[in-house]
């Protein structure tokens, strides 16, 4: 039985024991996917761990000149790195998640990361946005956050900014890549919101322009974090995942039904799944969380948690 399977069973048991009463905490717990991750790590490939692709000023100059500087009014309660308290509750878990991802990146190319989950309201947008923020907290790292949930876009609300022009406008050929890109208060964090509402999100994400967008902006960033719709009810996430290097699956503690998480997982090939985030664990779950932190480590290596 894989560790994620065990984790989900444990979460289900907890829920049963507590009558579903556990309150979600502010931090995610990155957990390992057992055999899937081991296979991924074994797959090897060129690691691009260190410097940004554009180490000179040219990439940044272009981004500064062509993206829009927008005043964001973030929700400080959930945007953990946009207030002045970098040591707040939940921030350490995101640092741990960051270090796990760099660890995975030592063994495979990993820049374009899709964040998804089985169902709505499990913390995809929360995880994607805080992950992008913690990435740029490291000196010189540049990240692009994309709201690719064209059905229920939330990132612009969390960041307190406008939703268009954005991805849907680009996918329809109305805008070019820099005109949909914003930057807010964090140097090195760029954001593409979902864009104007559309009637046909599934067709739009599959029309080939998403791939083009990623190809064009990829050299400018160290990380591209893509927030997606839930994987079980609609096909968008698996379509988007084909253009990404890896998928990070969010599972909400005491909430995501085991069968749904398994169904979501089946939407992606094993190699694509680089990790699982157990979101909303209550504080008493720490020893259990540690177990999975450790499980993330590659054999014969040690990683600081
Ligand atoms: N660990 C967490 N701590 C506090 N609030 C959270 C946490 N995870 C999610 N939320 C909140 O729960 C709501 C649903 O999360 P969201 O990320 O929008 O879910 P999804 O993108 O999967 O639909 C949002 O208001 C979000 O801020
Ligand atoms: Mg969302």
pLDDT digits (tens, 9 = 90+) for 37-46: 222 222 222 2
Delineate the domains of the chain, giving CATH numbers in brackets: 3-18+27-42+56-269 (3.40.50.300)
Q: How confident is the model at residue 119 (pLDDT cuts 50, 70, 90)?
A: very high
Q: What percent of the chain has pLDDT over 90?
A: 66
28 CA: nearest ligand 1 atom: 1
Measure the CA–CA gap between 103 and 87, rounded to whole angstroms.
22
Tell me 201's DSSP state: H
Structure tokens at 266: 């089946």
- Write out the residues surrounding ion ligand 2, Cβ under 5 A: 124-125, 149, 154
Q: How confident is the model at residue 284 (pLDDT cuts 50, 70, 90)?
A: low
pLDDT above 60 (res 179): yes
Q: What are the b/e assignments for 207-244, b being 16+ CB within 10 Å? A: eebbeebbeebeebbbbbbbbbbbbbebebbbbbbebb
Measure the CA–CA gap between 270 and 55, rounded to whole angstroms.
33
Residue of 22, 29, 78 to mutate, ligand 1, most atoms within 8 A of C-beta: 78
pLDDT for 142:
97
pLDDT digits (tens, 9 = 90+) for 185-243: 999 999 999 999 999 999 999 999 999 999 999 999 999 999 999 999 999 999 999 99
Measure the CA–CA gap between 217 and 208, rounded to whole angstroms.
15
pTM exceeds cut of 0.85: no
pLDDT for 146:
98
* Stated length of the chain: 305
pLDDT for 29:
56
153 C-alpha to ligand 1 centroid (Å): 12
Mean pLDDT of the residues in the chain: 80
Measure the CA–CA gap between 94 and 248, rounded to whole angstroms.
13
pLDDT above 50 (res 294): no
pLDDT above 70 (res 155): yes
Instruction: Supply the DSSP string of 230-241, one letter for each residue.
Output: -TTT-SHHHHHH
pLDDT digits (tens, 9 = 90+) for 251-281: 999 899 999 999 999 999 888 999 999 998 8
Range with lowest mean pLDDT among 11-20, 180-189, 216-225: 11-20
């Amino acid at each position: 039985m894989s560790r994620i399977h065990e984790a989900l069973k444990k979460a289900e048991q907890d829920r049963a024991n507590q009558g579903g009463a556990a309150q979600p905490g502010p931090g995610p717990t990155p957990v390992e996917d057992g055999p899937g991750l081991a296979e991924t790590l074994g797959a090897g490939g060129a690691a691009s761990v260190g410097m940004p692709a554009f180490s000179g000023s040219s990439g940044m100059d272009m981004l500064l000149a062509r993206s829009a500087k927008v005043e964001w009014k973030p929700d400080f309660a959930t945007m953990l790195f946009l207030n002045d308290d970098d040591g707040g509750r939940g921030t350490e878990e995101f640092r741990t998640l960051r270090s796990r991802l760099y660890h995975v990146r030592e063994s495979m190319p990993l820049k374009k990361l899709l964040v998804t989950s089985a169902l709505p309201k499990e913390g995809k947008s929360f995880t994607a946005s805080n992950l992008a923020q913690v990435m740029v907290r490291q000196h010189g790292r540049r990240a692009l956050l994309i709201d690719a949930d064209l059905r229920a876009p939330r990132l612009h609300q969390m960041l307190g900014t406008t939703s268009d022009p954005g991805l849907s406008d680009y996918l329809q050929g109305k805008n070019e890549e820099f005109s949909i890109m914003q930057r807010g208060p964090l140097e090195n964090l760029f954001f593409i919101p979902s864009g104007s509402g559309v009637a046909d999100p599934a067709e739009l994400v599959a029309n080939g322009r998403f791939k083009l967008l990623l190809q064009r902006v990829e050299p400018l960033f160290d990380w591209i974090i893509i927030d997606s719709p839930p994987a079980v009810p609609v096909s968008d996430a698996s379509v988007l995942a084909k253009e990404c290097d890896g998928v990070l699956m969010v599972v909400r503690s005491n909430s995501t039904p085991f069968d749904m998480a398994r169904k979501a997982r089946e939407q992606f090939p094993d190699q694509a799944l680089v990790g699982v985030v157990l979101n909303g664990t209550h504080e008493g779950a720490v020893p259990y969380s540690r177990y999975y932190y450790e499980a993330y480590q590659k054999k014969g290596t040690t990683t600081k948690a």
